[in-house]
Amino acid sequence: MKYFLPVIIFLLISCNVLAQSDSIPETETTPEETISNATPQTKAMVIDLNNPADVELTLKKIHTFKYLESVILEGETDEATLQKVIYRLSVLKNLSALTLKDNELNKVPENIKGLKTLRSVSIEGNTELDYNDLCNKLSAIPITELKLTDNGLKQDPPAFGAIKSLTKIEITGSDQLNYENLVDELAKLPGLTGLSIPVNYITELPKNITKLKALQLLDVSNNILTDLPSEVSSLKAINNLSIQGNLLLNPVKDLEKFKGNEILYLSLDKEITGDDVEQIKKMFPKAEINYPLEDKDDSSDPAKNNASGSASPKKEVFTGELKAKKEAAILSTAYLAYPALFQSVVYNFDTLTTEERYADLRYSNVYQRVANNSWAAGDLMFRKSSINYEKPGKKTESWFRFYMEDPSASTNYPELRAFQGMYWVYQGELTKKQFRKKFLNKRQRVYIGRNSWFHIKRKAIIRWNDIRVEYDQNNSLFSIQLKCDTGYVKFNAYPVVPGVPIEKSQQQYNRRFVLYQKALLRKSQNFKRNQLNEKRKYDANYKKMQDYAWKELLLRMSDEEKLMSKDEWLDYYDNVIANEKKAIGNAALSRGFVQRALALYGYFSNGTLPVIPKSNSTINGFKTMYIDFIDATGLGKLPVANIMILDNKNKMMYQIPGTLGLSPNMLTLKQFASYSILVELRNGDFGLVTSEEIDRQAADGSKTYQLKTKVIDKNLDTVGELLKGSGIQ
């Protein structure tokens, strides 16, 4: 009997701990490993679906990790690949949690219904996913927890009511969602005990939240709530409450609405101190009160990092050095094709962070401006004095507000919603009229009709490329910086809530600005995540283009070049370019090499010769000649495939096709013009006609001339020998 009482006490304490476990957030997490370094005892794993090696390894050995409880499938993929991976996951008997992260998915595969052991599903950064389809498929699995993070859910909530087993739902980063309609949808789940909707810029908690009678956990932290509706007092089951990170004017008064609840866990702002804390402790004597630091490391601190939270990635730039050699050999004409194939394959992905884009005048918000088409980033709207509650305290004051009614402005500048419901009062030397003209609206010409000289003048809103708010906490001084095409403009102003004493507004300054900074940081982090997703797609396409260009180049390479690696060939290319004139002089005869050699010696090939009618043999000094090319050694007529006429005086090269000997070649030449002619024969040999041979011929339109041509063997001579015979050194 002496051991009986302690055992009973131990069991009671254990039961109490178990009862509270649902209401107190878990702090311990299982470390995650990758598929490549995981051990048979691994419980949590991250699989990079964007890495073909990881996917292949997953399909081969994922079934061997029999203790696996949590899997994160990260990276862009297609439905077919994801279907194969999920099929392999279905054999894991202990798998209870699955996360799909940044997958660029439209739909989840049908076989996700086969993961019968799942209890928790998380979806992160999948903005294009069909969430109604997801809910219908998850309804076949007895999941109890659904987390949706940074998915940008649209106004109409998905069919969460279809997942009847759901007890907890968390939605973060979906500020466009209609939360009143969300509550109506969640009311279809009588077993829902946990609702977390932090970081959604919610300004007002929907009053129909009373429909969620079974709620035990409510997390509305890090929104922009100024109070909690009186209706929350009907939620008697709530024992876990998180309200930190809002703009609550009187948190004690708001918490009194839960006075009848047995609160076991309460999360508040650390600024709440003294008498307020004592009152709260008296209201909820059993509550564990926490003051969470939302930023647990320096990476989330706007003051210690740039807005992206990380160092900006470096662009990939090729900086190959030309390594000249004494002897450079050209192995094929492939090097001539390299620029044409690869000049368009330039890596130019824009890796600038949001802060770098703000500092760059070429950008409006995060978008690069197009000439004559500046993006309208944000407007300042002058307050209308005809609305009574907007009237300023003094007639001379200039009041304005951030124009957030436009959905695009609200999306591009979510950080400005930290000042929701506030107006700004200008502090400076400008009069009301001067302020309006400089910052708010201007008169501009509007022309009537196309190409019309008639125009009228009308007022137009001044649009700015970006807006930033700065705050000097020591002096309680705000300043607003506006970005335009030519630079930045800054002025001082202070925010007020219409109809509220200025002292009350000032009490919110620190909190509002902290929310502004955090929202700016979240926007930058979301941009960075989307940028990385876009970079993955860009890199994949860039690699495809490079591979295609390289395959095309291989078709032009000699057998010796094909044995080189890519880096070895690029070194060879650099060496050829460094010694090209000498190298091409030593190259074997080919049309491409000859044309390139002429270009190196300054010959232009864009000239055209006049066409002389047959009835006139000479016009402006030009003469039409019908020519057969004859071997100088007396072997007869040559089959000419291509003719290059070189104007050595003017450094011009004219090129016409040959007739292959079946008929005379018609050429238009000018006597005593220092022409020489290079001909390419059918078999690849070349022929040379000197300027002296051409000048010996008299103009006679009825005669076919026979030009003696020195034949140069393609297998014995070089490009340099051919050019030397033409008088080109």
pLDDT at position 320, please?
A: 37
Lowest mean pLDDT, pick from 72-81, 297-306, 485-494: 297-306
Q: What is the pLDDT of residues 671-728, one digit of tens each?
A: 667 888 999 999 999 999 988 888 777 656 568 889 999 999 988 888 888 888 887 7
Are 498 and 358 part of one and the same domain?
yes
Residue 436: band (very low, low, confident or very high) from pLDDT cuts 50, 70, 90: confident
SS3 475: coil
Q: What is the pLDDT of residues 462-511, one digit of tens each?
A: 778 889 999 998 888 999 999 988 899 999 999 988 878 888 888 889 88
Q: What is the spatial distance between Cα 300 and Cα 294, in angstroms, rounded to a whole number?
A: 9
Angle (nearest 5°) at CA 415 between 411 and 421: 95
**Where among 475, 502, 529 does a domain terminate?**
502
Question: Which has more confidence, 447 or 107?
Answer: 107
- Which of 82, 162, 151, 166 is closest to 119 using CA atoms? 166
pLDDT at position 15, please?
A: 42
Structural domain span for residue 689: 588-725
Tell me whether residue 620 is in a domain.
yes
Measured over the CA atoms of residue 551, residue 557, residue 559 and residue 560, the dihedral's sign is negative
Burial 495-507 (b: 16+ CB within 10 A, else e): bbbbeeeeeebee
CB atoms near residue 237 (< 10 Å): 14
Question: Which has more confidence, 482 or 396?
Answer: 482
Are 365 and 490 part of one and the same domain?
yes
Tell me whether residue 160 is in a domain.
no
Give the per-residue SS3 of 207-257: HHHHHCCCCCEEECCCCCCCCCCHHHHHCCCCCEEECCCCCCCCHHHHHHH
pLDDT at position 728, please?
A: 79
Rounded mean pLDDT, 271-280: 83
- Which of 702, 566, 682, 563 is closest to 625 using CA atoms? 702
pLDDT at position 621, please?
A: 65
Rg (CA), the chain: 39
Tell me whether residue 562 is in a domain.
no
SS3 170: strand
| End-to-end Cα spacing for the chain | 117
Question: Which has more confidence, 308 or 63?
Answer: 63
Are 482 and 595 part of one and the same domain?
no
CA distances to 33, 636, 675, 699 from 689, in Å: 75, 15, 9, 17
Using DSSP bridges, classify how beta strands 463-464 and 378-382 pair: parallel, antiparallel or unpaired.
Answer: antiparallel
Kindly tell me if the per-residue pLDDT of 256 is higher than 70.
Answer: yes
pLDDT at position 611, please?
A: 59
Are 600 and 719 part of one and the same domain?
yes
Lowest mean pLDDT, pick from 143-152, 163-172, 289-298, 322-331: 322-331
Using DSSP bridges, classify how beta strands 665-670 and 622-631 pair: parallel, antiparallel or unpaired.
Answer: antiparallel
Report the domain count for the chain: 2
Which helix (H) or strand (E) is 266 found in, with range?
strand 265-267
Rounded mean pLDDT, 16-40: 56
Are 622 and 483 part of one and the same domain?
no
pLDDT at position 14, please?
A: 41
Residue 592 CA, chain-centre distance (Å), reads: 42
- Which of 266, 306, 299 is closest to 282 using CA atoms? 266
Rounded mean pLDDT, 108-129: 94
Question: Which has more confidence, 220 or 616?
Answer: 220
Report H helices in 555-618. Answer: 559-562, 566-578, 580-585, 591-600
Tell me whether residue 310 is in a domain.
no
Phi/psi of residue 163, nearest 5 degrees: -90, 85
Q: What is the spatial distance between Cα 184 and Cα 122, in angstroms, rounded to a whole number?
A: 22
Question: Which has more confidence, 252 or 383?
Answer: 252
Question: Which has more confidence, 449 or 83?
Answer: 83
pLDDT at position 340, please?
A: 86
Tell me whether residue 368 is in a domain.
yes
Query: Please, what is the angle between helix 566-578 and helix 334-342, to 10°?
Result: 110
Are 489 and 600 part of one and the same domain?
no
Measured over the CA atoms of residue 407, residue 408, residue 409 and residue 411, the dihedral's sign is positive
pLDDT at position 302, please?
A: 41
Q: What is the pLDDT of residues 564-600, one digit of tens each?
A: 999 999 999 998 888 888 888 888 888 888 988 898 8
What is the maximum alpha-carbon separation in the chain? 138
Tell me whether residue 432 is in a domain.
yes
Residue 294: band (very low, low, confident or very high) from pLDDT cuts 50, 70, 90: very low
Residue 619: band (very low, low, confident or very high) from pLDDT cuts 50, 70, 90: low
CA distances to 295, 443, 532 from 448, in Å: 56, 16, 46
- Which of 251, 227, 243, 226 is closest to 421 using CA atoms? 226
Question: Which has more confidence, 465 or 110?
Answer: 110
Are 360 and 495 part of one and the same domain?
yes
Measured over the CA atoms of residue 38, residue 44, residue 46 and residue 52, the dihedral's sign is positive
Rounded mean pLDDT, 37-60: 91
Are 477 and 612 part of one and the same domain?
no
Question: Residue 402: left (phi > 0), alpha (psi -120 to 50), or beta?
Answer: beta
Are 598 and 463 part of one and the same domain?
no
**Where among 484, 502, 520 does a domain terminate?**
502
Angle (nearest 5°) at CA 703 between 700 and 704: 125
Q: What is the pLDDT of residues 518-536, one digit of tens each?
A: 889 988 988 998 898 888 8
Are 462 and 594 part of one and the same domain?
no
pLDDT at position 617, please?
A: 56
Rounded mean pLDDT, 389-417: 73
pTM, entire model: 0.63
Tell me whether residue 63 is in a domain.
no
Tell me whether residue 411 is in a domain.
yes
Lowest mean pLDDT, pick from 103-112, 205-214, 330-339: 330-339
Kindly tell me if the per-residue pLDDT of 330 is higher than 70.
Answer: yes
Kindly tell me if the per-residue pLDDT of 358 is higher than 80.
Answer: yes
pLDDT at position 312, please?
A: 40
**CB contact at 8 A, 547 and 318:** no
Q: What is the spatial distance between Cα 674 and Cα 648, in angstroms, rounded to a whole number?
A: 6
Rounded mean pLDDT, 169-176: 92
For tokens 């964007």, the residue is 50
**Where among 481, 502, 523 does a domain terminate?**
502
pLDDT at position 185, please?
A: 96
Rounded mean pLDDT, 642-665: 89
Report H helices in 566-708. Answer: 566-578, 580-585, 591-600, 691-695
Which helix (H) or strand (E) is 665 found in, with range?
strand 665-670
CB atoms near residue 367 (< 10 Å): 14
